[in-house]
C-alpha cells in the first residue's frame, strides 16, 4: 500500500473497561464520529490490551466488549462508514506483534512513560509480566498491520504512537533493503514508461539535492497514479524516492485529540475511578437524580445566600452544555440569590437528556437484538482481516518467512 493511501486510513482502539460515559463521548467519540466521514476508519475493541492488566477477570472483559460496541453505535458511529471489530478476532495482530518483538530493543519498551510507574502503583495485581511489557509492541502491531497513517489518541497515548514510528522505521531499515534494492528500484522506474521515469528522476533529484518538498509530493502523486506496477515496486519507488529502502510499514501520525475537560458530578474530571460519571445510556430518571443531588457552592447553605459559580461543579457542566444566555442567567441569579440551586439545575438536566435522547433511541434496537451487533462486528472483522492478511504477507516475505 502506498503512503498516500495510508494517509486516508484512520485506526483507533479502546480497551473494554466498562460502560462508556459522557466524558468518553465528549473526549473521544465525537471526534471518531467526525473522522468517520473524512477518512477510511477502523475502530476496534482492544480486548487483548485489557487482558494485559485484567487477566484475572476475563469474563468481565467479554461483557464489556459488547456493551462498548453498543455504546459506540449509540453515540453515532456508523458501521456503514467505519469498520468496527474486535482485536482478538483478527489474530494477525498477534503474529505481527511477535515478529515486531524480534527487532524491538528492550530499552525502548522499558522507557515508555508510565510503564514502571504503573507497575509500581498497581498494588492489587502483578503487572511484572511479559504481556504487560509488550503492551506498546502490541499497540504498534495494531496500527502497522493496517498501515494506518493516522491514529486519533489523547496525549497519554502519544508515546505509544511514537514507539510505533520507531519500530516501523527500524523494520523498514532492516528489512526494506533486500539485496539488489537499488537495481530493483531502477527497474521499477523503467516500468513506469519513459516520460514518467524521466519525471521521477527529476523530482527525486530535486528532493534529494535541495530538499524540495513539493517535488517529493509530486513524485508521490505520480507513483500513486501508476496503474501497472506491482505493490512491491510501488513500495520500492516510494522508498527510493527519499533515499531509503522499501517502505513496508509506513510511519503513522498521532491525530492528537483535544484534551477533554469534561467535568464529573463532583467537579473533578469525569472518570469511573472517581465514581462521578453519567453513563452514555443512563436511565433519564437516574440522570435527573444524579444532577439534582450534585453538590454546589459549599458556601451557599441557604436559598437566600448568594453563591459563586466559579467554585460550583454544576456551573462547570453548564459551561459544557448551556448557551451564553443561560450562562448569564445562572451567573446573575446565583450571585444575587435570585435563583435556587434546583432552578439552576433544571435547564442543565434538560440539555443532558436532550443529548442522550438519540443515543438511547439508537441503542434500543441493538439492546433488543444482540445478533445485529454481532453481525456488524463480524463484518468489520472481515474487512479488517483482509487488510491485515495482506500486510502480514508483505512482512513475512520481507523477513524471509515466505518459504513453502
Ligand atoms: N492503549 C490504548 C488506550 O489505552 C488502546 C489501544 C490499543 C489503541 N491499541 C491501539 C489506541 C491502537 C490507538 C491505536 O487507550
Ligand atoms: Fe451552583 Fe447554580 Fe447553585 Fe450557583 S445556583 S451554587 S451555580 S448550582
Residues in the chain: 404
CATH T-level fold of 281-366: Tyrosyl-Transfer RNA Synthetase (1.10.240)
Domain ranges in the chain with CATH number 3.40.50.620? 3-176+252-261+370-398
Would the CB of 296 count as within 6 Å of ligand 2? Answer: yes
Atom number of ligand 2 nearest to Cα 340: 5
Residue with cell 430518571: 285
Average pLDDT over residues 29-35: 96
DSSP tag of 18: S
Quick check: helix, strand or coil at residue 13? strand
Rounded to the nearest integer, the mean pLDDT of the chain is: 93
344 CA distance to ligand 2 middle (Å)? 6
**Per-residue confidence (pLDDT) for residue 4, from 0 to 100:** 62
Nearest-CA neighbor of 52 among 114, 111, 105, 10?
114
Q: Are 35 and 152 in contact (CB under 8 A)?
A: yes
Is the pLDDT at 179 greater than 90, yes or no?
no
User: Percent of the chain having pLDDT more than 70?
Assistant: 98
Cell of 273: 475511578
Separation of alpha carbons 146 and 87, rounded Å: 12
**Per-residue confidence (pLDDT) for residue 1, from 0 to 100:** 57
Nearest-CA neighbor of 18 among 265, 279, 276?
279
Would the CB of 297 count as within 6 Å of ligand 2? Answer: yes
Helices (H), 106-193: 106-110, 115-121, 130-133, 135-144, 158-175, 181-191
Would the CB of 291 count as within 6 Å of ligand 2? Answer: no
Separation of alpha carbons 256 and 157, rounded Å: 9
The CATH number of domain 3-176+252-261+370-398, selected from 3.40.710.10, 3.30.450.20, 3.40.50.300, 3.40.50.620: 3.40.50.620
Q: What is the residue with the minimal CA distance to atom 4 of ligand 2?
A: 334
**Per-residue confidence (pLDDT) for residue 24, from 0 to 100:** 95
Beta bridge partners of 279: 21
Would the CB of 300 count as within 6 Å of ligand 2? Answer: yes
- What's the whole-model pTM score? 0.87
Beta bridge partners of 45: 14, 86
pLDDT digit string, tens, across residues 116-157: 888 888 877 788 899 999 999 999 999 999 999 999 998 889
Would the CB of 157 count as within 6 Å of ligand 1? Answer: yes
pLDDT digit string, tens, across residues 312-326: 999 999 999 999 999
Domain ranges in the chain with CATH number 1.10.240.10? 281-366
State which H helix or E strand residue 99 sits in. Answer: helix 92-103
Cell of 139: 499497540
Long-range contacts of 113-120 (CB under 8 A, 24+ apart): 113/159, 114/156, 114/159
Cell of 8: 486516508
User: How far lies 270's CA from each of 4, 266, 267, 289, in Å?
Assistant: 38, 8, 8, 17
**385: exposed, middle or buried (Cβ count in 10 Å: 0-12, 13-18, 19+):** middle
Would the CB of 334 count as within 6 Å of ligand 2? Answer: yes
User: Strands of 40-45's sheet, edge to edge?
Assistant: 82-86, 40-45, 9-14, 150-153, 253-256
Q: Are 335 and 326 in contact (CB under 8 A)?
A: no
pLDDT digit string, tens, across residues 57-112: 888 899 999 999 999 999 999 999 999 999 999 999 999 999 999 999 999 999 99
Give the pLDDT band (50/70/90) at residue 2: low
Beta bridge partners of 85: 44
Amino acid at each position: 500500500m502506498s503512503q498516500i493511501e495510508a494517509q486516508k486510513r484512520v485506526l483507533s482502539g479502546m480497551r473494554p473497561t466498562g460502560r462508556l460515559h459522557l466524558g468518553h463521548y465528549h473526549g473521544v467519540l465525537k471526534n471518531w464520529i467526525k473522522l468517520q466521514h473524512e477518512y477510511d476508519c477502523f475502530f476496534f475493541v482492544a480486548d487483548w490490551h485489557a487482558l494485559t492488566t485484567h487477566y484475572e477477570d476475563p469474563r468481565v472483559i467479554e461483557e464489556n466488549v459488547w456493551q462498548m460496541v453498543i455504546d459506540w453505535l449509540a453515540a453515532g458511529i456508523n458501521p456503514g462508514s467505519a469498520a468496527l471489530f474486535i482485536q482478538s478476532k483478527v489474530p494477525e495482530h498477534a503474529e505481527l506483534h511477535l515478529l515486531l518483538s524480534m527487532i524491538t530493543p528492550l530499552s525502548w519498551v522499558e522507557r515508555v512513560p508510565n510503564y514502571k510507574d504503573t507497575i509500581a502503583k498497581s498494588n492489587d495485581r502483578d503487572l511484572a509480566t511479559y504481556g504487560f511489557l509488550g503492551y506498546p509492541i502490541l499497540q504498534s502491531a495494531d496500527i502497522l498491520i493496517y498501515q494506518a497513517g493516522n491514529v486519533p489518541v489523547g496525549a497519554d497515548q502519544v508515546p505509544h504512537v511514537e514507539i510505533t514510528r520507531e519500530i516501523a522505521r527500524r523494520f523498514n531499515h532492516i528489512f526494506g533493503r533486500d539485496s539488489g534494492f537499488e537495481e530493483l528500484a531502477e527497474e521499477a522506474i523503467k516500468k513506469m514508461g519513459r516520460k514518467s521515469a524521466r519525471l521521477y528522476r527529476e523530482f527525486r533529484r530535486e528532493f534529494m539535492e535541495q530538499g524540495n518538498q513539493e517535488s517529493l509530493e509530486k513524485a508521490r502523486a505520480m507513483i500513486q497514479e501508476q496503474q501497472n506496477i506491482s505493490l512491491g515496486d510501488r513500495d520500492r519507488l516510494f522508498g527510493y524516492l527519499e533515499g531509503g529502502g522499501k517502505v513496508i510499514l509506513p510511519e503513522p501520525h498521532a491525530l492528537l485529540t483535544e484534551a477533554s475537560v469534561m467535568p464529573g458530578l463532583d467537579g473533578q474530571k469525569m472518570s469511573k475511578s472517581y465514581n462521578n460519571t453519567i453513563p452514555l445510556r443512563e436511565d433519564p430518571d437516574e440522570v435527573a437524580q444524579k444532577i439534582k443531588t450534585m453538590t454546589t457552592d459549599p458556601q451557599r447553605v441557604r436559598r437566600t445566600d448568594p453563591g459563586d459559580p466559579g467554585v460550583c461543579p454544576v456551573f462547570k457542566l453548564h459551561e459544557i452544555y448551556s448557551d451564553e444566555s443561560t450562562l448569564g442567567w445562572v451567573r446573575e441569579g446565583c450571585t444575587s440569590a435570585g435563583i435556587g440551586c434546583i432552578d439552576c439545575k433544571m435547564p442543565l438536566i434538560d440539555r443532558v437528556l436532550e443529548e442522550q435522547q438519540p443515543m438511547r433511541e439508537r441503542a434500543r434496537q441493538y439492546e433488543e437484538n444482540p445478533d445485529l451487533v454481532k453481525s456488524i462486528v463480524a463484518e468489520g472483522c472481515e474487512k479488517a482481516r483482509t487488510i491485515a492478511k495482506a500486510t502480514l504477507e508483505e512482512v513475512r516475505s520481507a523477513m524471509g518467512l515466505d518459504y513453502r
